[in-house]
Structure formats: structure tokens, C-alpha cells
């Protein structure tokens, strides 16, 4: 196995040399900023800690640390939408994985022998080294910004949006986002079919109906309505400021997650009043439907139509992009709630 590994590594290096495509190193190195550099190194330490952890809880915490550092990296490099999404995803991942870890044994001794571990470490290091070389080369390549400049120049003039990332997702590349929304809705179906339906007979067994802890029990209704209102605000402002359908959906899911932590899954489902799969499917349907006006009027699916109205002296301008974003919001909310309710009910058996 080691011979094969060494042979492959040698072949890769020979390939670089023979094709005369030696990786370039960028001439200027950029200024080293202490904050992002320290954060990045802490993230790497988190990754190494996760790989070496003997307990699953420690590994989960370390992976969450790496994710939070990724969120900080996004925030410190001019990507606030990404930072919000990553923070929300890390919070939800902690909530969902903790539910799973209630059921599974936390002690996880290594399943590989010493030599197997050494081989796996060499394999992983080889791939990581290759990726590092590729990234260095990518950083040294001349930056092609024609497409980004196209979007930056037309985002406000043609698509009436100031948040260029959101306009790309919802308007220029809306069809890609539609596909991704379909993936999210399908993952909700997968999670529900893996975890949900077989519990119909055991509807009332399992989780006690009492509240988890006093402070959480008292403050959870406040947080629920606050987070729900915040998620709607984030959705509505997404076109011109930081926000959008994805972050809004994740924030609304966090609202329900807090209620499920404090009062249990049944109360959270009662607050929802709809089946999570209805939400996920309805969101996908709404996103699809928002592209139909463009199809009927212009012959282009997902070409967004804008309405201007003068209501009581206020200039209102809204388009089908809001319907599309609302569809994405609902689909993400439905999917995350399908995960949450399914996992908690499965864990309570």
C-alpha cells in the first residue's frame, strides 16, 4: 500500500513537470492581518483536534469550532451574507447533532490499527498537500473578473437590487438556485422517510411534557417571536441589504429549534400547524411559480417582473424576486424542521 502511495505521488509530481505546468507562486504576499491569521490557525487546530478526539462530543465541538472560524473568515473578508449563513448553520448543526449524540454512545475508540492510521494520515496529507499547491497556483493566476463586473454593473440598473450576491442568486442565476432549492426539499423528504412516519403508533410515549429548564422555558416564547420577526425582516431586506431567503429560512428554523429545546417537539409542531414537508414542497412550488409570470409575458422562465405602485404617497417597488426568495425561505424552513422534528422523535424512542 505504501508502494502504491509513493508511486502515485511520484506520478503526480512527474505529471506537473512533464506538462511544464509547475505551480506558480504569487509575487506579492498581501499584508498579514493578525486577527484573521489567529482565527484561521485556531480553526486549523480545531480540525486537528477533531481528527484526534477520542470522544464524539469533543469531535463535534471541534468541528463546530472549525465552522465558526470559517464564519469569522467570511465576515472578515467582506462576505457578511456567508457569515450569517454559516453562523446559523453551525447553531442548527449543534442542536441537531446533540440530539443524535443523546442516543449514541459517546466513547468512540479508534476503529483502525496503528499502521492503518499511519497510512490514512499519509493519504490525507498527500491530498491536502496537493490541494495546497492547487490553491497557491489559483491565487497566483491572474484574476478574471469579467463576469463579476458584469453582475456588479447591472445589478442595480437592470435587476433593481443593491445586494449583488442576492441578485445573482435570485435573478441572474435563479435557475441554479431553483435546482438547489429542489435538492433541499428532496433532502427533507429523505430525512422524514428515514425518521418520521413509523412513530405513528408511539405518538404519546417518549418525551416528558415538562419544561426543560426554568429560564429557557420562560424566555423561549419571547425568543420564538423575536427570531420569527427577525427572519421575516432578513427575508424582506435581502434584495438591497444583507439578508435573503436562505438566511431568513435558517433563522426561522432556529426559532422553532429553541421552542423544541424548551418545550419539546410536540409543542413546536403545534406552533407550526403545518407538516414540515408541506412547507418544503410549498416553498419549492412557490419558487417555481414565481418564474411563470416571466414565461407568460416574455417567454423566459424566471425572468422577474417588477411592479411599481404609488400607495398613500409611498413609492413601492416589488417584484417576483420576493416570491422566489419567499419560496426559498419556506423550503429551507420546512427542510430544517423536518430534520429537527424527525431526529428528536427518533431519539426519544
Partner 1 sequence: MSVLHAFVAAGLFGCGLYMVLSRHLVRVLLGLSLLTTAVNLVLFQAGHLQSVQPPLIPAGADRLQGSADPLPQALVLTAIVIGFALSVILASLALRAYRGHSTLRSDEIRSAERLGDPSADRTTDAR
First-residue to last-residue Cα distance in the chain: 44
Q: H-helix or E-strand containing 218?
A: helix 214-237
Q: In terms of CB distance, is 124 or 218 closer to partner 1?
A: 124
Q: H-helix or E-strand containing 317?
A: strand 314-319
Q: In terms of CB distance, is 41 or 297 closer to partner 1?
A: 41
Site for partner 1 in 114-173 (CB under 8 A): 120-121, 123-125, 127-129, 131-132, 135-136, 138-139, 143, 145, 147-149, 151-153, 155-157, 162-165, 168-169, 173
Q: Is 43 in the site for partner 1 (CB under 8 A)?
A: yes
Site for partner 1 in 204-263 (CB under 8 A): 241-242, 244, 246, 250
**Cα atoms in the 13 Å half-sphere on the side-chain side of 267:** 19
Considering only 19, 27, 29, 310, the residue that binds partner 1 (CB under 8 A) is 29
Q: In terms of CB distance, is 27 or 296 closer to partner 1?
A: 27
Q: If DSSP codes are grouped into helix, strand and coil, which group holds residue 182?
A: helix
Q: What is the dihedral of CA 28, 32, 38, 42, to 10 degrees?
A: 0
Considering only 12, 104, 213, 218, the residue that binds partner 1 (CB under 8 A) is 104
Q: In terms of CB distance, is 164 or 232 closer to partner 1?
A: 164
Site for partner 1 in 305-324 (CB under 8 A): none
What phi, psi does 239 have (nearest 5°)?
Answer: -75, -30
Considering only 17, 20, 105, 200, the residue that binds partner 1 (CB under 8 A) is 105
DSSP string covering 83-143, please? HHHHHHHHHHHHHHHHHHHHHS-SB---SS-HHHHHHHHHHHHHHHHHHHHHHHHHHHSPP
Site for partner 1 in 195-214 (CB under 8 A): 195
Site for partner 1 in 64-93 (CB under 8 A): 66-67, 70, 73-74, 76-82, 85-86, 89, 92-93
Q: In terms of CB distance, is 90 or 263 closer to partner 1?
A: 90
Q: In terms of CB distance, is 211 or 237 closer to partner 1?
A: 237
Q: In terms of CB distance, is 9 or 221 closer to partner 1?
A: 9
Q: Is 112 in the site for partner 1 (CB under 8 A)?
A: yes
Q: If DSSP codes are grouped into helix, strand and coil, which group holds residue 315?
A: strand
Q: Is 26 in the site for partner 1 (CB under 8 A)?
A: yes
Q: Is 22 in the site for partner 1 (CB under 8 A)?
A: no
Considering only 9, 100, 216, 236, the residue that binds partner 1 (CB under 8 A) is 100
Which residues have CB under 8 Å from 286's CB, separation 6+? 323, 324, 326, 327, 330
Number of residues that bind partner 1 (CB under 8 A): 103
Asked if 266 contacts 209 with a C-beta cutoff of 8 angstroms, the reply is yes
Q: In terms of CB distance, is 176 or 202 closer to partner 1?
A: 176
Asked if 294 contacts 300 with a C-beta cutoff of 8 angstroms, the reply is yes
Instruction: Please state, in angstroms and rounded to a whole number, the distance separating the CA atoms of residues 306 and 314.
Output: 16
**Biggest alpha carbon–alpha carbon distance for the chain:** 78
Q: Other C-beta atoms within 10 Å of 204: how many?
A: 8
Q: Is 287 in the site for partner 1 (CB under 8 A)?
A: no
Shortest Cβ 182–partner 1 spacing (Å): 11
Considering only 6, 21, 51, 270, the residue that binds partner 1 (CB under 8 A) is 51
Amino acid at each position: 500500500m505504501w508502494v502504491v502511495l509513493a508511486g502515485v505521488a511520484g506520478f503526480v509530481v512527474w505529471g506537473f513537470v512533464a506538462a511544464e505546468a509547475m505551480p506558480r507562486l504569487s509575487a506579492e504576499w498581501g499584508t498579514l492581518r493578525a486577527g484573521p491569521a489567529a482565527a484561521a490557525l485556531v480553526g486549523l487546530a480545531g480540525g486537528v483536534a477533531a481528527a484526534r478526539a477520542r470522544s464524539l462530543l469533543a469531535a463535534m465541538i471541534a468541528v463546530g469550532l472549525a465552522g465558526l472560524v470559517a464564519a469569522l473568515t467570511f465576515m472578515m473578508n467582506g462576505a457578511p451574507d456567508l457569515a450569517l449563513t454559516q453562523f446559523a448553520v453551525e447553531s442548527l448543526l449543534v442542536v441537531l447533532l446533540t440530539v443524535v449524540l443523546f442516543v449514541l454512545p459517546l466513547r468512540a475508540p479508534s476503529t483502525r490499527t496503528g499502521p492503518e492510521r499511519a497510512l490514512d494520515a499519509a493519504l490525507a496529507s498527500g491530498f491536502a498537500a496537493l490541494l495546497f499547491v492547487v490553491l497557491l497556483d489559483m491565487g497566483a493566476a491572474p484574476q478574471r473578473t469579467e463576469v463579476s463586473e458584469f453582475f456588479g454593473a447591472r445589478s442595480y440598473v437592470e435587476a433593481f437590487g443593491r445586494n449583488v450576491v442576492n441578485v445573482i442568486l435570485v435573478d441572474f442565476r435563479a435557475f441554479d438556485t431553483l435546482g438547489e432549492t429542489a435538492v433541499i426539499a428532496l433532502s427533507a423528504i429523505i430525512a422524514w422517510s428515514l425518521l418520521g412516519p413509523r412513530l405513528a403508533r408511539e405518538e404519546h410515549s417518549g418525551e416528558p411534557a415538562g419544561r426543560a429548564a426554568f429560564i429557557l422555558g420562560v424566555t423561549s416564547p419571547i425568543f420564538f417571536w423575536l427570531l420569527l420577526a427577525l427572519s421575516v425582516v432578513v427575508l424582506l431586506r435581502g434584495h438591497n441589504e444583507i439578508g435573503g431567503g436562505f438566511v431568513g429560512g435558517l433563522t426561522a428554523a432556529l426559532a422553532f429549534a429553541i421552542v423544541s429545546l424548551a418545550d419539546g417537539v410536540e409543542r413546536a409542531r403545534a406552533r407550526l400547524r403545518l407538516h414540515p414537508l408541506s412547507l418544503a414542497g410549498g416553498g419549492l412550488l412557490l419558487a417555481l411559480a414565481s418564474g411563470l409570470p416571466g414565461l407568460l409575458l416574455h417567454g423566459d422562465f424566471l425572468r422577474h417582473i417588477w411592479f411599481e405602485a404609488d400607495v398613500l404617497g409611498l413609492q413601492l417597488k416589488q417584484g417576483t424576486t420576493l416570491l422566489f426568495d419567499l419560496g426559498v425561505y419556506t423550503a429551507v424552513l420546512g427542510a430544517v424542521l423536518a430534520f429537527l422534528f424527525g431526529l428528536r422523535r427518533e431519539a426519544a424512542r
